[in-house]
Amino acid sequence: MKAKEIHELTNDDLRSQLAEGRAELFNLRFQMATSQLDNTARIKLVKKDIARVLTVIRERELSQAAEAQQAQAAVETA
């Protein structure tokens, strides 16, 4: 999944995408341990997708915190 597509998702969609990615990574690791994994490059791609989702989630958390801090500062000066 590309970063642009991830940025367009809602917070709930991001959390479900994160859960799906982690479940897929678990399954891929399990397949690798039992020598059933054919495409080992898939692990790297899933890890990157998980990292992208976590990055977008964190960006949104930081922007919400900054907005709250600005609102608090505006209330204190008023």
Condensed to tens digits (0 to 9), the pLDDT of residues 36-52 reads 999 999 999 999 999 99
Using 50, 70 and 90 to split pLDDT, how confident is the model at 62?
very high
pLDDT, residue 1, reads 80
Q: Which long-range CB contacts under 8 A does 46-53 form with residues at least 24 apart? A: 46/21, 49/1, 49/17, 49/21, 50/18, 50/21, 50/22, 50/25, 52/1, 52/3, 52/6, 53/6, 53/14, 53/17, 53/18, 53/21
Model pTM? 0.87
Using 50, 70 and 90 to split pLDDT, how confident is the model at 32?
very high
